[in-house]
């Protein structure tokens, strides 16, 4: 999955696959996580959020929400930005 860099002190890049509903997040620590059952409007809200890290904590890192850490070779490549 291709990820795009975002302006954030905690998040390096994000990517979203509409067909599978998977959100992939690379944190500044280098760890990559995938969140499942993500709706397009949830992804749009993340991109629009003033604080990407806070938004992820409030809406995605919650009990009952499925997510998994992804090893780097499984993770997508970051999309370069201009």
Strands (E), the chain: 3-5, 11-17, 22-27, 32-35, 67-70, 78-79
Q: Split the chain (82 residues) into runs of 10 and give each run's mean pLDDT.
A: 94 97 96 96 97 94 89 54 37
CB atoms within 10 A of CB 71: 8
> What does the pLDDT read at residue 72?
64
pTM, entire model? 0.84
Q: In this predicted structure, what is the pLDDT of residue 80?
A: 37
């Amino acid at each position: 999955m291709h990820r795009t860099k975002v302006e954030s002190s905690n998040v390096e890049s994000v990517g979203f696959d509409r067909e599978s509903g998977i959100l992939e997040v690379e944190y500044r620590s280098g760890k990559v996580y995938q969140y499942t059952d993500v709706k397009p409007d949830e992804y749009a809200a993340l991109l629009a959020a003033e604080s990407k890290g806070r938004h992820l904590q409030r809406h995605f890192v919650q009990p009952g929400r499925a997510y998994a850490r992804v090893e780097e070779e499984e993770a997508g490549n970051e999309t370069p930005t201009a």
